[in-house]
Structure 1
Amino acid sequence: MFGLFKSDPTKKLQKEYERKLEQAMHAARNGDMRANASLTEEAEAIRAEIEALKKG
């Protein structure tokens, strides 16, 4: 019953993951491939956190 009011931590991480991917896309469009690689790496780390939360 009280679990109804708990927030889902994966939702926040999912939004952050999508935001990082969008930033990476814009960096790639502007020709900044280093920023693209860095942001993509950060996004993949966030995705790994999401997967770990879903499993455990």
Structure 2
Amino acid sequence: MFGLFKTDPQKKLQKQYEQKLEQAMLAARNGDMRANASLTEEAETLREEIEKLKNA
């Protein structure tokens, strides 16, 4: 009952991951390859954290 309002950290990280990928895609469309690379790298670190949570 009290766990009803707790946020799921995996869902939060998944949402951040998807936002980073979308930002990277938009940067690539605009021709900013440096921003694309850095945003993709950030997204990959988030994906690794998601995988750790799934395996834990």
With structure 1 as the length reference, what TM-score do the two structures score?
0.90
- Note the alpha carbon deviations across 1:27-56, whole angstroms, 9 max, x for none: 000000000000000000000000000100
Residue ranges of structure 2 left out of the alignment (5+ in a row) = none
Q: Bigger shift: 6-15 or 31-40? A: 6-15
User: 2:39 is matched by which residue type in structure 1?
Assistant: L
The match for 2:51 is 51
Matched, 1:9 2:19: no
User: 2:25 is matched by which residue type in structure 1?
Assistant: M
Query: Identity of aligned pairs, percent?
Result: 76
Aligned-partner Cα distance in 2 for 1:12–1:18: 10
- Aligned pair count reads 55
The match for 1:31 is 31
CA RMSD in angstroms, aligned pairs only: 1.1
Residue ranges of structure 1 left out of the alignment (5+ in a row) = none
User: 2:47 is matched by which residue type in structure 1?
Assistant: R
